[in-house]
Amino acid sequence: MNHNTPLSPRPLRHLAEVHRRVLSTAQLRAHGVTAAEASEQCRAGGPWQQILPGVFLLRPGPPTSEERLHAVLLYAAREVPPAGVPAQPGPDEPHRPGYTEAMITGLAALNLHGFAAAPPLLSLERIEVLVPRLRRLRSTGCARIVRTPALPAPCVRTGLPVAPVARALADAVAGLSDAVTVRRLLTEAVRGGHCEAASVVRELTRARLLGRPHVVDAVDSLLAEGRAITEERLYRMVREHGLPDPAWNVDLRLPGGPHLGGVDAYWPEQAVAVELDTRAPRQDDDAMWSEYVRKREHLERLGITVVHITPRKLRETAEQQAAVVRTALMASGDRDPAAYVVVLPR
């Protein structure tokens, strides 16, 4: 047998090109190649190479970034269907092997998500792959195993399962000590619209990374960046959906009485306020939420309608949020008059 010999009578034309080059021991066996034959092909100077335990590259030379990604997933996946699939795909549909309970994470995942601040895939010595905590796997070669109690739902990038941005960021930051790189990655996540600041902080908190000074500094900048972006989206929503101009970023106070709190937008004639929920999910999250609730309930007892909007809703459903605000403004005439409050710049 040589590298020009067909693997078996079972055809390979249903496989995408990379899946003809990177195969597992089980897939080779499904094509009639024994373990001994595979080892023979991987001898010194041979046409194949074993790049991870049980994973073979069916050509000489350094693996490409695409081949390394598939190899890492083949190594870490719990079950990979054999190369000859029982259900035949259509003539123009390449079969992609399933990568069960494994997904790319860390810097490689950020690269696949399109992060400009992420390094090139070929420059990464190891590719991180996320697996369930109880899997019996070890980091080896170009594969670095990252364990989690519960796998998130993967995103699909270039046909590969990839961890969501916030999770991939946390796994990347865990291995970084350079403050500039951490700040660039976190900032691009929010500024580039990949995810909200709160979801990033939530994952960093879960990974217990907020005790690192360079991470805390980057998070503070991230939250300020996220707040500014969310406010800009609120301005755009009001403008693009034809809502009347409110008083922006104001404090409300009873005449000669206590301070009622700040709101992001306020329509005095209709007594309607908008408050953006840009809380960071840290340890004091419950206390902060309780303060939000107390303030809203106090304002509503005074006859002021409070519309609570999260950054995610504002980003994904701005038209729907504008309709909610418009409805509140139109309904003001049917409500009892609100208490008079003093509106001050914040």
What was the pLDDT predicted at 286? 59
What was the pLDDT predicted at 259? 87
What was the pLDDT predicted at 179? 92
- Are the C-beta atoms of 343 and 267 separated by less than 8 Å? no
pLDDT tens figures, 131-147: 999 998 999 999 999 99
Pairing mode, strands 22-24 and 55-57: antiparallel
Residues in the chain with pLDDT < 70? 1-19, 79-97, 279-289
What was the pLDDT predicted at 97? 53
The dotted CATH code for 242-345 is 3.40.960
Query: CA–CA separation, 160 vs 155, rounded Å?
Result: 8
Pairing mode, strands 259-267 and 160-162: unpaired
pTM exceeds 0.75, yes or no: no
Query: CA–CA separation, 164 vs 277, rounded Å?
Result: 22
E strands, 158-246, in order: 160-162
Residue 252 burial (C-beta neighbours within 10 Å; 0-12, 13-18, 19+): buried
Residues 6 or more apart from 180 whose CB is under 8 A from it? none
Query: CA–CA separation, 42 vs 28, rounded Å?
Result: 13
Query: CA–CA separation, 263 vs 320, rounded Å?
Result: 20
DSSP state of 124: -
Residue-range domain boundaries for the chain: 1-100, 103-228, 242-345
Residue 206 amino acid letter: R
